Every structure is written in C-alpha cells, then in structure tokens.
Amino acid sequence: MRILIIEDDPKLAQFVARGLRAERFAVDVVGNGREGEEYLRAYPYDLLILDLMLPGISGYEVLRRGRRM
C-alpha cells in the first residue's frame, strides 16, 4: 500500500510516517499543498493523510483538485 502524507509540521509528519513504515507501508511525505498536488498527479496512492491548513494551497483545495484527476 502506498500512502501520501501532506503535513506542514515536520515533526508530526515524520512521527506518523515512521509508524507506517514500521508496518511496511510505502510512505511519501510532503510539507505543502502545491507539492502534495504534484505528487498526487505523479504517483498512484492508496491513501492520503491530509492536513487541511497548509501553506500554498489549503488541504481542501488539494482534495478538490485531486478528485478531478
């Protein structure tokens, strides 16, 4: 299973990613909405963990745009 974490708090993002990787999930972590949107376009993900209050574009906007892909 491939998971994308879009979270602007690096400490929190790495904590969650570490736990998921320990369970053998493939995890990518990005810190802002624009970069997250690029990753969503480039790779197929099974799960998205999304912070709603992100720099660049909001998590709501990332989700809205991601549904169109």
pLDDT tens-digit series, residues 38-50: 999 999 999 999 9
DSSP H or E stretch at residue 5? strand 2-6
pLDDT tens-digit series, residues 5-15: 999 999 999 99
Give the residue from 56, 58, 55, 3 showing the smallest Cα distance to 28: 3
Q: pTM of the full predicted structure?
A: 0.92
